């Protein structure tokens, strides 16, 4: 659990810092009333964080309020939603990542031209609330997956991930030869795809326990002699990748189907628009 939480907090924090940095740098360079503009910007950042905090409280509160019989249904639903959101985020970034800076600056320029400081506030709020909400749902999905670890371990992992994010952002902004933005997004994209697979497999296990999906078979093989998903190392890899030492047929079908879908979405040919002859 420590590695999964630290990774999610690290990745999402770097992206949030990138968005805030783009907005702040543009306001410093392009506005006369920089102080007022930045006040609304940081007000939006705080409001976005507060929104994410409220969402976290709602998820935890709802989980505590429902009956024990409904707990498995609830946690399975959250885990599957988290997996779907991670997958959606990865492919959204593949499509819009290159134009993100330009799009943010265009929206900010429109708000400033209209002297709409509340537009700056809302832009920052939406950007931070989105990153914060994704982080909350991803983390709740990880915690709901039943990975071992206590509260203090989770808090420590989050703090470690955030500290690493600050360091990574500093290196990225400094134009480090070791870590570029392109390399950062490519590496974390792969790691996120594995994490989504891990959450999906946990969700499938939940659906099987709820008797919504059949197992289709007993265990197909036992690779525990090579890497057990019950010990520290194997459990860590399982939590990050969805590895199963003793999979059943349903788990195998979902695992293979997931990666077939991912590879198809990555390598599918892009549509080319041909000009219509006059």
For residue range 111-169, list pLDDT tens digits in order.
Answer: 766 667 788 888 889 888 888 888 888 888 877 766 555 667 777 888 898 999 998 88
Q: What is the mean pLDDT of residues 202-223?
A: 90
Max mean pLDDT range (6-10, 67-71, 146-150, 233-237): 6-10
pLDDT at 1: 63
Above 60 in pLDDT, residue 274? no
Tell me how far apart the alpha carbons of residues 234 and 215 are, in angstroms, rounded to a whole number.
22
> Is the CB of residue 23 less than 8 Å from the CB of residue 104?
yes
When comparing pLDDT for 273 and 69, which is higher?
A: 69
10 Å CB burial of residue 163 (0-12, 13-18, 19+) is: middle
Give the residue among 4, 10, 7 at the shortest CA–CA distance from 169: 10
- Pick the closest to residue 139 from 47, 51, 53 (CA basis): 53
CA distance 187 to 14: 13
Q: Considering the entire predicted model, what is its pTM?
A: 0.82
What does the pLDDT look like over 37-78, one tens digit per residue? 888 889 999 999 999 999 989 988 888 888 877 888 888 998
Residue-level pLDDT at 68 = 76
Which contacts (CB < 8 Å, 24+ apart) does range 260-269 have? 262/87, 262/193, 265/91, 266/94
């Amino acid at each position: 659990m420590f590695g999964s939480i630290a990774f999610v907090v690290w990745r999402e924090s770097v992206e949030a810092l990138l968005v805030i940095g783009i907005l702040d740098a543009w306001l410093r360079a392009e506005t006369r009333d920089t102080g007022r503009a930045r006040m609304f910007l940081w007000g939006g950042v705080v409001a976005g964080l507060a929104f994410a905090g409220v969402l976290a409280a709602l998820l935890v509160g709802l989980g505590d309020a429902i009956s024990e019989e409904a707990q498995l249904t609830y946690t399975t639903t959250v885990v599957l939603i988290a997996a779907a959101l991670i997958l959606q985020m990865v492919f959204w970034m593949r499509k819009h990542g290159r134009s993100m800076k330009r799009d943010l600056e265009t929206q900010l320029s429109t708000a400033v031209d209209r002297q709409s400081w509340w537009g700056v506030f809302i832009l920052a709020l939406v950007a931070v609330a989105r990153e914060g909400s994704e982080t909350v749902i991803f983390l709740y999905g990880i915690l709901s997956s039943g990975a071992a670890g206590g509260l203090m371990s989770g808090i420590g992992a989050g703090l470690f991930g955030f500290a690493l994010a600050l360091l990574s952002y500093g290196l990225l902004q400094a134009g480090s030869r070791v870590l570029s933005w392109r390399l950062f997004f490519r590496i974390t994209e792969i790691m996120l795809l594995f994490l989504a697979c891990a959450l999906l497999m946990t969700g499938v296990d939940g659906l099987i326990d709820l008797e919504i999906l059949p197992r289709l078979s007993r265990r197909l093989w036992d690779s525990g002699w090579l890497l057990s998903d019950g010990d520290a190392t194997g459990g860590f890899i399982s939590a990050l990748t969805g590895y199963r030492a003793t999979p059943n047929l349903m788990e195998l079908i979902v695992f293979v189907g997931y990666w077939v879908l991912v590879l198809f979405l990555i390598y599918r040919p892009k549509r080319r628009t041909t000009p219509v002859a006059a």
